[in-house]
Amino acid sequence: MSDRAGALKDILSVLKSENINIEYVYAFTGTSQGEAYVVLRVDEVEKAEKILKENNIKTLSDEEFLN
- List the end-to-end C-alpha distance of the chain, in Å, as a whole number: 17
Q: Which band of pLDDT confidence, cut at 50, 70 and 90, is reported for residue 47? A: very high
User: 3-state DSSP call for residue 32?
Assistant: coil
pLDDT(5) > 80 = no
CATH number of 7-66: 3.30.70.260
Domains of the chain by residue range? 7-66
**pLDDT, greater one: 50 or 3:** 50
Distances (CA, A) of 52 to 19, 21, 33, 37, 64: 13, 14, 23, 14, 17
CA distance 15 to 56: 13
User: 3-state DSSP call for residue 50?
Assistant: helix
Residue 19 identity (one-letter amino acid): N
Question: pLDDT digits over 24-40, tens only?
Answer: 999 887 777 878 888 99
